[in-house]
């Protein structure tokens, strides 16, 4: 019997034709890739407990196109990261290929599980969308295991509450005067001049200036109050040579350039290659022409080198825990800030403090330097008062003493040693961020006026051994030994 011919079209023609992707879909695809790169950077830095740029700094770098979308995607993915990891483990849908691209998988899983729209283009997106049912089933299983009703109960959002702070804007006086900036910005928001830093403006919380022409052309910088106080505390004089020991991303560096009125010279040190690029971008944006970038370790500089004979001031803002600005930096979203990592954090703080002591001792050892500022965005005593206290014998032997930056500022150092009242602290609650500043100034009559914090000879021997590998040359230690105990050989 002859087979009847079907009038139906061939099977292939029944399938819907592939629709070209829209501009919005392509933009979302690109934002997910940009977000994955940033997520990879911050997660790797967090896992290795080393300093990287903040999430905001990475997102708002010139190379990121869709800044608003990328920023939101990174933050939301980090907020949900523990949930996403648990769901992926339960669903067990990843093969070896996609396990090697975990940051991108996390970003896409956030969109699939919690986003407003399901991704439709991209190989990784298609792979995970086909397994959407398994992911949703894994999420349901997780809720049952944790004995909660919804995802919100799995998330700890408490750290985001109550942290409303003004928007601070520093005027780049190399390109614009303060009054002109105020006049321009008042077209959008209420603007006040800061009472502490002369070129700093205060605007309402939530003022969005990231795309403002004055930001884009480097006439103003979005810079917090604590960060802006650091260079101002150093008070370099026009024509001085200054070292910025740990420069990137460069906001403090270009602030120094403005305070120097474009005169003199700044040697900006940065070890990390990627952060050097960011530093150079900031310098170019500022219009500063008196900054020389040194791609290397500040600790490798020889204070006795004639190249540094004219250096009069050093700004040292070394790597720190960032505990005073974790909400600004969004570090509280990272895995290392979970309750399970408190012991590891204490180990990390100790390692940071060891480096900070070395760097501060090194800064004080440059013979012609008259002023040194040590600053952190940390709230921890081990990174602040303890670091300063540990170098006071050395500082005293080299003619330095603690001075008082911003004398009208009320909050001072913790009373853990004589002289701590000279130190400056910002409080995370009262000032909306935690910052610490110590100012060392060189005096000419130091030997005739010993300070009460000088130590017994036995303790001095111990500290000489501590600092010995990091100072140039050995004659510093001979001088230290002699001066502390009355000898002027």
Give mean pLDDT, residues 195-207. Answer: 93
Beta strands in 279-419 (DSSP E): 291-295, 311-316, 371-376, 400-403
Percent of the chain residues past pLDDT 70, beyond the cut: 77
Q: What was the pLDDT predicted at 479?
A: 37
Q: What was the pLDDT predicted at 438?
A: 98
Q: What was the pLDDT predicted at 212?
A: 94
Model confidence at 21, in pLDDT bands (50, 70, 90)?
Answer: low
**Which residue in the block uniquely carries the two structure tokens 């900070």?**
356
For the domain covering 226-486, report its CATH number.
3.40.50.150
Integer Cα distance of 45 and 144 in angstroms = 33
Percent of the chain residues past pLDDT 90, beyond the cut: 51
Count the Cβ atoms, other than its own, within 10 Å of residue 43.
19
Write out pLDDT tens, residues 82-97.
889 989 999 988 877 7
Count the Cβ atoms, other than its own, within 10 Å of residue 315.
27
Give mean pLDDT, residues 27-40. Answer: 86
Decide if 377 is catalytic.
Answer: yes
- Return the CATH architecture of domain 167-222: 2-Layer Sandwich (3.30)
Integer Cα distance of 285 and 220 in angstroms = 10
Count the Cβ atoms, other than its own, within 10 Å of residue 141.
14
Residues 6+ apart with CB under 8 A from 488: 447, 482
Beta-strand pair 291-295/424-426: unpaired
* Alpha-carbon dihedral sign for residues 221, 223, 226, 231: negative
Write out pLDDT tens, residues 40-67.
888 887 666 555 567 777 877 777 877 7
Q: What was the pLDDT predicted at 31?
A: 82
Give mean pLDDT, residues 452-468. Answer: 46
pLDDT at 100 over 60: yes
The pTM score is: 0.65
pLDDT at 16 over 50: no
Q: Of 377, 383, 376, which is closest to residue 433 (Cα–Cα)?
A: 377
Model confidence at 99, in pLDDT bands (50, 70, 90)?
Answer: confident
DSSP assignment of 135-158 equals HHHHHHHHHHHHT-SSGGGG---G
The single residue of 269, 320, 377, 460 carrying the catalytic annotation is 377
DSSP H or E run through 287: none
Write out pLDDT tens, residues 149-186.
777 776 643 344 445 689 999 999 999 999 999 999 99
Mean pLDDT taken over the chain: 82
pLDDT at 70 over 80: yes
**Binding-site residues from annotation:** 246-252, 270, 297, 317
Q: What was the pLDDT predicted at 337?
A: 54
Q: Dmax of the chain from CA atoms? A: 121
Write out pLDDT tens, residues 260-284.
999 999 999 999 998 999 999 999 9
Q: Of 243, 300, 240, 297, which is closest to residue 267 (Cα–Cα)?
A: 243
pLDDT at 400 over 80: yes
Model confidence at 314, in pLDDT bands (50, 70, 90)?
Answer: very high
Model confidence at 75, in pLDDT bands (50, 70, 90)?
Answer: confident
Q: What was the pLDDT predicted at 158?
A: 36
List the chain domain ranges: 22-155, 167-222, 226-486
Is the Cβ–Cβ distance between 163 and 108 less than 8 Å?
A: no
Which residues are paired to 425 by β-bridges?
436
Q: Of 215, 226, 274, 268, which is closest to residue 42 (Cα–Cα)?
A: 274
Higher pLDDT, 95 or 401: 401
Tell me the three state secondary structure of residue 170.
strand
Is the Cβ–Cβ distance between 280 and 341 less than 8 Å?
A: no
**Binding-site residues from annotation for S-adenosyl-L-methionine:** 246-252, 270, 297, 317
């Amino acid at each position: 019997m002859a087979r009847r011919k079907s009038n139906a079209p061939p099977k292939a023609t029944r399938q819907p034709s592939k629709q070209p992707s829209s501009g919005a879909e392509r933009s979302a695809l690109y934002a997910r890739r940009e977000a994955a790169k940033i997520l990879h950077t911050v997660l790797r830095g967090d896992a290795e407990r080393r300093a990287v740029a903040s999430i905001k700094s990475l997102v708002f770098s010139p190379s990121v196109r869709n800044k608003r979308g990328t920023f939101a995607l990174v933050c939301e993915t980090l907020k949900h990261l523990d949930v996403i990891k648990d769901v992926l483990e339960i669903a067990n849908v990843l093969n070896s290929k996609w396990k090697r691209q975990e940051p991108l998988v996390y970003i896409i899983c956030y969109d699939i599980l919690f986003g407003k729209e399901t991704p439709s283009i991209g190989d990784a997106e298609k792979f995970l969308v086909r397994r959407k049912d398994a992911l949703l089933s894994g999420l349901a299983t997780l809720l049952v295991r944790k004995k909660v009703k919804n995802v919100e109960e799995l998330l700890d959002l408490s750290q985001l509450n109550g942290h409303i702070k003004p928007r601070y804007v520093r005027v780049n006086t190399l390109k614009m005067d303060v009054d002109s900036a105020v006049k321009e910005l008042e077209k959008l928001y209420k603007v006040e001049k800061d009472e502490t830093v002369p070129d700093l403006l205060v605007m309402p919380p939530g003022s969005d200036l990231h795309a403002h022409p004055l930001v884009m052309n480097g006439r103003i910088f979005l810079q917090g109050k604590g960060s802006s106080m650091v260079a101002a505390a150093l008070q370099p004089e026009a024509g001085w040579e200054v070292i910025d020991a740990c420069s990137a991303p460069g906001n403090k560096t270009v602030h120094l350039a403005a305070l120097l009125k474009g005169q003199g010279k700044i040697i900006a040190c940065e070890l990390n290659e990627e952060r050097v690029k960011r530093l150079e971008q900031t310098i170019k944006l500022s219009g500063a022409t008196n900054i020389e970038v040194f791609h290397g370790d500040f600790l490798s500089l020889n204070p006795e080198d004639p190249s540094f004979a004219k250096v009069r001031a050093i700004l040292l803002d070394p790597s720190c825990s960032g505990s005073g600005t974790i909400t600004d930096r969004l570090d509280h979203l990272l895995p290392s800030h979970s309750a399970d990592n408190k012991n590891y954090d204490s180990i990390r703080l100790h390692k940071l403090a060891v480096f900070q002591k070395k760097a501060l001792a090194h800064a004080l050892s440059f013979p012609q330097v008259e002023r040194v500022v040590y600053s952190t965005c940390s709230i921890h005593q081990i990174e602040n008062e303890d670091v300063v206290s540990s170098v006071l014998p050395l500082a005293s032997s080299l003619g330095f003493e603690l001075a008082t930056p911003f004398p009208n500022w009320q909050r001072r150092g913790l009373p853990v040693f004589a002289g701590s009242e000279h130190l400056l602290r910002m409080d995370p609650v009262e000032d909306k961020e935690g910052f610490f500043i110590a100012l060392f100034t060189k005096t000419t009559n130091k030997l005739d006026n010993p300070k009460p914090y000088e130590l017994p000879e036995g303790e001095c021997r111990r500290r000489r051994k501590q600092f010995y590998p990091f100072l140039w040359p050995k004659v510093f230690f001979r001088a230290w030994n002699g001066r502390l105990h009355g000898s002027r050989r």
